[in-house]
Structure formats: structure tokens, C-alpha cells
Amino acid sequence: MLRPKAKKIIVQFDDGTQTESAFEDLTAHLQRELLKQPVLFDFNPDGDNKKFLLLEWKDGWKEVMAVDSTCREINRYYVITRPEDTGRLSLNREDGYPELIEIGREPLNLKQIGFVNNHEIALKQSDREGKKVDHFFSLKMNGDLLSTIVEGFRKALNEEGIEIKTLSMDTFRQSPGIYPKIARRMGIRAVERQQDVLDFMDYLARNATQEP
């Protein structure tokens, strides 16, 4: 699903005046914050090439996040304890500057990272540096993400009483209410933007309906 790129932001005041700015002139931080809001569309559309990251915790919690389509693989995952814990997931990107994702929810208890493949994670070593401790995790590949998750999608559809063979992509897209239900069945939430969940469901539906 291609979406338009954000070009301009206009703020209207209650005295009738207004101010505007090119969207790209806003700080990158503000652009990201604005685009998390449900009222705004994706400013960097990757269309059907969109890539997703699926995080799964030891307690069964799952979160999904769309990432830049130029991301290729996971570089590393580690947690910094200071004493608060912050997870840092780094993805290799074509331009040489990695994509960096911060993970706030119990980062030491992350169980699996799905990006292209499933990666089981396990604590490898902890290094103290002054008052900070870096915990480094090993990543063990465990099958490809798509086939596992499409299977889960089909199972969730079945539990909702929906027969996939009778459906086309148009059916899914014309009934947007299906996606949140399936996502709930699959236990998938958004890392930071609800639209990512809907896009991920769309991606799974496309793959589920394409297979024989």
C-alpha cells in the first residue's frame, strides 16, 4: 500500500494566522514523533517492500515495528544497565549508517528477534565500565520469520472463523476491522506506532493469500 510522502506542516492559530514549514526541515526527532501519531501517514513509503521487525519476550509479549526497507540484517543486540536497562538493536543498512532501535520494555528478557529470520537471543557476556554494565547477546538463527508468522496468521484467521481460501487481498483491505482482531489473536502490539501493526497484518495477508 503506497502512501503519500509528508511534505509540509501547517499550524493554524485561533486568531486566524498560520505558520508552515517543509516537513523535512523539522528535526529528525520531531519527524519521527509526528509520524507515530495515528493522524499522519508514513512519510517514507516502502510500499510492498516494507520490512518488519518482530520482537518476542520471555513472557510471550510480542511487538512489531516497520523499519527502513534498506535494512539488511541484524548487527547486534545489547542492553545497557545504568541502573535502568535500555536495549539497543542495531540493523545493518545499505548506506553504512546502521538503523538503531531502542528497546525499553524489559530488554534483558527479550527472547527472540524476528527480522528476515527468527533469531533466538541468549546472554553472552556482561562487561562493567565504571557505573554502567553492557550485556551482550548472541543471536542464533532459527528458521525464517515469514513462514513461521504466516502460519500463525492462518491459525488466528481460523480461530476467528475466517476461511482464507475464500478471501482475496481486496476482501482484507475493504474490511480493515479484521486486522486488529487478528493481531490481538496473534498477541502482536506495536512498538511505537499502531499503523505498523496494520501494515504488518497486511503484509502477512498478502503472503498468506499468495501461497498455494
> Near other proteins by CB under 8 A, which window of 2-10, 46-54, 97-105, 151-159?
97-105
Minimum CB distance to other proteins smaller for 132 or for 184: 132
Burial 3-24 (b: 16+ CB within 10 A, else e): eeebeebeeeeeeeeeeeeebe
SS3 call for 6: coil
Query: CB of 22: closest distance to other proteins in angstroms?
Result: 16
* 30 is a site residue for other proteins (CB under 8 A): yes
Distance CA(175)–CA(172), nearest Å, equals 5
28 binds other proteins (CB under 8 A): yes
Shortest distance, position 131 Cβ to other proteins, whole Å: 6
- Of 69, 70, 90, 171, the one binding other proteins (CB under 8 A) is 90
Q: Does residue 24 touch other proteins according to CB under 8 A? A: no
- With binding defined as CB under 8 A, does residue 60 bind other proteins? no
DSSP string, 29-96: HHHHHHHTSTTS--SS--GGG-EEEEEEETTS-EEEEEE-TTEEEEEEEEEEESSSEEEEEEEEETTS
With contacts defined by CB under 8 A, name the span among 24-32, 45-53, 143-151, 175-183 that binds other proteins.
Answer: 24-32
